[in-house]
Amino acid sequence: MVTTYIKRALFKNLIFTLILFFSLIFSSNIYADPKLITTIGKPNTFGNISNLTISNTGQAYILDKGTQTIVHKLDALGKPIDSFNLGIIEPIDIGISNNGYIYTIESTYIDNAYKGIVKKWSTSGQLMLSWNTEAVANKLAITNDNMLVVALKDRINIFSEQGLLLKEIKGYIKPNFPNQTKPFTYISRLAISTNNELLVLNSDTQLITINLEGKLLQPIITNNENSIGLGTYSNLAYDAQGFIYDAQFSLGADSTSSCHCIRQFNSQGKLIKKLGV
């Protein structure tokens, strides 16, 4: 079973994640004010959406978790194309490679410890491959050459399409200290750009941009009122121009770092605009 806080975080991010991804698809001018383009589905169209991913052709794959886990496939305009049943599993995240394979990660209890499972599916929902990770897998990203980037608690593992561990990134390397690796504390969110730059949310207070070798590419963005103000349940995404997006829900009346909104930042963490209030 996935821990309760993970379930709650995924559920509360649902609406913001849907708006975020479809806004990125339909937006023709990145400098225009962000607007809600469309709403996908009607009451009871979906059961319990937990996450989604967008293919390089603009199709959406939506994780719908109830007594069974269903993946809904939508075209670039939000029209349903297909759906298939993954069975009684509780995937945490979903991704699709450029060559059309679907990947999910889930958590399971093995040998007195929670561990992650990566699964590879065909576009028709046939399970093709699965393998375990050392610890719980929090987030999944896929490079433009179809390698799997899986965020564990304190490290990032990079796998081939066949499940072979190719690389392990345990922290980030500053340009002035090439022989020193600063360890990650806790990775809660992960995003990847079109040129394979990784955006890592570390301990909910640091936004770190690295390449696939772990080298720091931008100054670290930290939590403060003039910066990204990241919270535990924020989702992250890049657009093709390198802008950063997150989705926030209100954490309470006294919260100053969340907003029931989607926020856009530049690569230095400066707030550009908000969608929603």
Q: Tell me the per-residue pLDDT of 205-216, one tens digit each, with 9 for 90 and over.
A: 788 999 999 999
Per-residue model confidence (pLDDT) at position 262: 80
pLDDT at residue 174 tops 70: yes
The Cα–Cα gap between 105 and 61 comes to 14
Indicate whether 33 pLDDT > 90: no
What's the average model confidence in pLDDT over 162-177? Answer: 94
Alpha helices in the chain (DSSP H): 4-12, 14-26
Find, among 83, 90, 144, 153, the residue nearest to 119 by Cα: 90
Q: How far apart are CA 52 and CA 100, in angstroms?
A: 15
Which one, of 201, 112, 207, 212, lies nearest residue 157 by Cα?
212
Q: Measuring CA to CA, which residue among 153, 138, 54, 65 is closest to residue 95?
A: 54
Which of residues 274 and 143 earns the better pLDDT score? 143
Which of the four pLDDT bands, split at 50, 70 and 90, describes residue 272?
A: confident
What is the distance between the terminal CA atoms of the chain, rounded to a whole angstrom? 34
Higher pLDDT, 275 or 96: 96
Domains and CATH numbers, the chain: 4-275 (2.120.10.30)
DSSP states along 13-61: THHHHHHHHHHHHH-S-TTSPP--------TTSSS-EEEEEE-TTS-EE
CA distance 68 to 83: 12
